[in-house]
Amino acid sequence: MIRSRFSMLNKWRLCLFWGAAFWSLSASAQELAEGVQAHGFLSQSVVRTSDNNVGGNSDDELASDLRELGVNLSWRPNPDWLISGQALARWAGETDEGSLRLDYGFVDRTLYNSGEAQIGVRLGKIKNPYGFFNTTRDVAQTRPGVIMPQSIYLDQVRNFFLAAPGISLYGNADSDQGALSWQVSAMRPEVDDVDLEYMTFLRDLPGKFAGRNSWLGQVMLDRDGGRWRMGVSLGEMNMRYQPGRSPPLDLLGGTHRLPTWVLSVQHNSEDWTYTAEYAQTQVIARDYGSAFEDNTIESGYLQATRRFADSWQGYLRYDVLYLDRDDRNGMQFASPLPGAPPAHSRFAKDWVVGVRRDLDRLALSAEIHHVDGTAWLARVDNPVAGLVRKWDMLLLQAAWRF
Amino acid sequence: MRNLRFCSNGSALCGITLLLSLILPPGVAGAVDVIANKSVAVDSLSLASARAIFGMRQVKWPDGTPIRVFVLPDDHVLHGAVCKERLNIFPYQLRQSWDRLVYSGMAQAPSEAMSEEELLNKVAATPGAIGYVRKVKANDPVKILNVE
């Protein structure tokens, strides 16, 4: 009790510190000097669930452990060079406790520029292009709702997919019909999601994962000034498990390969935006001294967003995640053994309805979820014994950016 | 508030004209001009180039001079007009694409002016600058860029 009070106090202090740092930075101009810009974002959410926990202890209580804070700097010494970096602190229940980290930091060099087409290279820690929203998933204003559609943008593997040290080749081409952009990255992913072992082994083991050489690419086409946006992202993310103990206390070493692809389509009109994304990720485990069956994660969502007068918008989303495409209801997976994860931990079908109002740089949002399934809940916040299959959630969020 | 400021030296008619210009199809009203600093050695832009420049993807002029983009706030009526009439894109999409670039470090944001007058002055004073105004007057110290 005392310890939890202490850590609570510490959290608030940390918050206050970052808040103050943020406000003082944002008070100065965005344009700090010739070619130097600073930008940032800040969000705070509160959440209440009928069952299960999101962002702390939200089950029939109000949890406020959902917070994001980021500041970036960029410097363009001349048109062919760009140096940029962003620091991020994020709080999300037990899975993320506000430690400060480098979100991205890289050097960008334009190799070719014909006016309407550019080709360039980036070197450093680079955001991974994956679907429409991955690169800015921590900036509330850029998300399609209070939280990301969890099917494709699963928070449990966010760091794995978010950004990685590596090299990236990219290009843009603008024509009167539309704009084409592409990016291919080779990197070694950072594997520090606390939930990753629960995801892959269903338990926390003594060893840990390390990233192996991986690649991701994306092609995005904006037709007719972005009335239609279409994209394909694909790649293969790889990691290796290094055991911390000898069997039977741990597994032998092994590798996980995750070939993945996402299809993204969006239609924009003055008042409406329709968005659909669909993804499949294979999970291929090798070695470990134990047989893991390969499986395919299937996910997708559909969203309609309506813009009203005075910067109001409303949206409706249906979001589905199956952790095994060949066992969508989890019946083959479920085991009668006590303490085994239930069948409903293998899927989640989420209806979301939300509203948002933008007041200049501030955005206020509210969102209600009705969920069947528990596949995307953070295991560290949700012990198996307490999981409830059908649950509801209310989220309120205030977000500010500069 | 901003509309009022924008119309402060005109009359209620100014508001009506702007409203009409938004309702009428592009090209009929022509309520907004894309302008550039007089040092810019370009007289016209293709639609693709104009979108690439205001989208912050194209950052230098053909002669290598850095492009400096000046815009008005998202909800300014003139910003809506340049998006729809000149760039044929919705203002919310331009905002989304700026945010995507700025918060992933892939490009810098345009510079924001708080009023049309401030924007005009900044474009006039900054080499390589591009922006927009309602209508260029004969003695304004900037040049008009035709977007084709």
ipTM: 0.90
Expressed as residue numbers, the domain containing B139 is 2-147
List residues of chain B with CB under 8 Å from any CB of chain A.
46-49, 51-52, 55, 57-60, 62, 64, 66-67, 73, 75, 87-90, 92-93, 96-97, 99-100, 102-109, 111-112
Comparing A9-13, A376-380, B36-40, B115-119, the range with the smallest average pLDDT is: A9-13
- The pLDDT assigned to A261 comes to 97
State the Cα–Cα distance between residues A316 and A88, nearest whole angstrom: 29
Structural domains in chain B (count): 1
Contact B105 A85 (CB under 8 A): yes
Chain B residues whose beta carbon lies within 8 Å of the beta carbon of residue A311: 75
A109, closest residue in chain B (CA to CA): B106
Write phi, then psi, for A34 (nearest 5 degrees): -55, 115
Interface contact A34, partner B, CB < 8 A: no
Structure token pair of residue A4: 């939890």
B66, closest residue in chain A (CA to CA): A79
State the Cα–Cα distance between residues B97 and B100, nearest whole angstrom: 5
Comparing A187-191, A261-265, B10-14, the range with the smallest average pLDDT is: B10-14
User: What average pLDDT score do residues B28-33 get?
Assistant: 69
How many C-beta atoms lie closer than 10 Å to residue B139's C-beta?
5
Sign of CA dihedral B67, B97, B76, A270: positive
pLDDT band at A9; cut points 50, 70, 90: low
The pTM of this model reads: 0.87
State the Cα–Cα distance between residues A354 and A303, nearest whole angstrom: 11
Contact B55 A179 (CB under 8 A): yes
CATH assignment at residue B75: 3.40.190.10
Question: E strands of A243-294, at which residues?
Answer: 254-268, 272-287
- Mutation choice for B interface testing from A142, A181, A356 by most B CBs within 10 A: A142
Contact A226 B93 (CB under 8 A): yes
Per-residue pLDDT tens for B92-121?
999 999 999 999 999 999 999 999 999 999
Beta bridge partners of A366: A355, A396
How many C-beta atoms lie closer than 10 Å to residue A270's C-beta?
10
- The one-character DSSP state at B82 is I
**Nearest by CB: B89 against A82, A106, A226:** A226
Radius of gyration of chain B (CA): 15
Contact A85 B58 (CB under 8 A): no
Radius of gyration of chain A (CA): 21
Q: How many CB pairs under 8 A join A and B?
A: 115
Measured between CA atoms, how close is A121 to chain B, in angstroms? 11
Give the contacts of A358 (CB within 8 A, at least 6 positions apart): A141, A311, A313
Rounded to the nearest integer, the mean pLDDT of chain B is 83
DSSP string computed for A339-395: TPPPGGGGEEEEEEEEEEEEETTEEEEEEEEEEEE-TTS-TTTS-GGG--SEEEEEE
Chain B residues whose beta carbon lies within 8 Å of the beta carbon of residue A307: 92
State the Cα–Cα distance between residues A81 and A111, nearest whole angstrom: 10
Chain A residues whose beta carbon lies within 8 Å of the beta carbon of residue B47: 176
- Mutation choice for B interface testing from A176, A221, A274 by most B CBs within 10 A: A176
pLDDT band at B26; cut points 50, 70, 90: very low
Interface contact A381, partner B, CB < 8 A: no
State the Cα–Cα distance between residues A264 and A222, nearest whole angstrom: 11
Q: Do A301 and A285 touch, CB atoms closer than 8 A? A: no
What are the sequence ranges of the domains in chain A?
44-55+101-401
Per-residue pLDDT tens for A315-330?
999 999 999 999 999 9
Rounded to the nearest integer, the mean pLDDT of chain A is 89
State the Cα–Cα distance between residues A306 and A356, nearest whole angstrom: 10
Q: Do B51 and A174 touch, CB atoms closer than 8 A? A: yes
pLDDT band at A214; cut points 50, 70, 90: very high
State the Cα–Cα distance between residues A66 and A45, nearest whole angstrom: 5
- The one-character DSSP state at B83 is I
Chain B residues whose beta carbon lies within 8 Å of the beta carbon of residue A136: 99-100, 103-104
Measured between CA atoms, how close is B102 to chain A, in angstroms? 8
Single-letter residue type at A269: S
B91, closest residue in chain A (CA to CA): A270
Interface contact A259, partner B, CB < 8 A: no
The correct CATH number of A44-55+101-401 out of 1.10.150, 4.10.260, 3.40.50, 2.40.160 is 2.40.160
**Nearest by CB: A79 against B52, B66, B75:** B66
- The one-character DSSP state at A59 is B
User: What average pLDDT score do residues A299-316 get?
Assistant: 96
Q: Which residue has the tokens 């090299």?
A: A167
How many C-beta atoms lie closer than 10 Å to residue A136's C-beta?
22
